[in-house]
Amino acid sequence: MEQFLVFLQKSPLNMLLFGLALASGGMLIWPLVSRPFRRIHELGAFEAVQLINRRDALVLDIRDTGDYAAGHITQARHIPEAQLRDRMKELEKYRSRPIIVSCRSGSRASAVSGALRKQGFPEVFALRGGIAAWQQAGMPLEKN
């Protein structure tokens, strides 16, 4: 250990490289460490299928109408994100069921699932990676 400290002190470049190695390692580990502490729950494609099959979860697709028509998860309920606040009453009858929010890449679904939880929906999950991850997992899409 002493030899390592002496090595670091010999050149400022050594200290800089060591600091960069620590920082990049921390950035790689951070998502794994922080996942259990997130308030917004996420599901992968296979976990979502299990929730749909076992507990009759509702899939809420918040993409624009054109994206939804190009392909969506079977029996997904379509409410574009911009209309969600106005159409919240349509979701009231699904309050007792788990809700899986899907978007194109998963980024907007996290925000919407958090908003639904604030509205009192007990089980709301974001589809991790969105429809893109769903397709990448080889899951089918339905077209209108």
- On whether both 112 and 91 belong to a single domain, the answer is yes
Q: Is residue 22 part of a domain?
A: yes
Residue 123 lies in a domain: yes
The enclosing domain of 115 has a CATH number of: 3.40.250.10
- Residues 22-42 have a mean pLDDT of 81
What is the rounded CA–CA span in Å between residue 63 and residue 73?
12
Q: What is the pLDDT of residue 40?
A: 54
103 is catalytic: yes
Q: Which tens digit of pLDDT belongs to each residue from 71-97?
A: 999 999 999 999 999 999 999 999 999
Percentage of the chain lying above the pLDDT 90 cut: 74
Grade residue 33 by pLDDT with cuts at 50, 70 and 90: confident
| 63 and 122 housed in the same domain | yes
Give yes or no: residues 107 and 58 share one domain. yes
For residue 142, tell me if it sits in a domain: no
Whether residue 45 sits in one domain with residue 83? yes
Residues 22 and 70 in one domain: no
Q: Per-residue pLDDT tens for 98-116?
A: 999 999 998 899 899 989 9
Q: Do both 126 and 61 map to the same domain?
A: yes
Q: Report whether pLDDT(144) > 90.
A: no
Judgement on whether residues 31 and 98 belong to the same structural domain of the protein? no
20: containing domain: 2-36
Domain-located, residue 141: no
**What pLDDT band is residue 34 in, cutting at 50, 70 and 90?**
confident
Specify the pTM: 0.74
Q: What is the structure's pLDDT at 83? A: 96
Residues 14 and 71 in one domain: no
Strands 99-102 and 58-61: parallel
Residue 119 DSSP code: T
* Burial group, residue 66, by CB count within 10 angstroms (0-12, 13-18, 19+): exposed
- Among 103, 116, 127, 131, the active-site one is 103
Note whether 53 and 18 are same-domain residues.
no
- 44 and 32 both lie in a single domain: no
Domain count, the chain: 2
Could you tell me if residue 143 is inside a domain?
no
Q: Is residue 119 part of a domain?
A: yes
Q: How far apart are CA 59 and CA 121, in angstroms?
A: 14
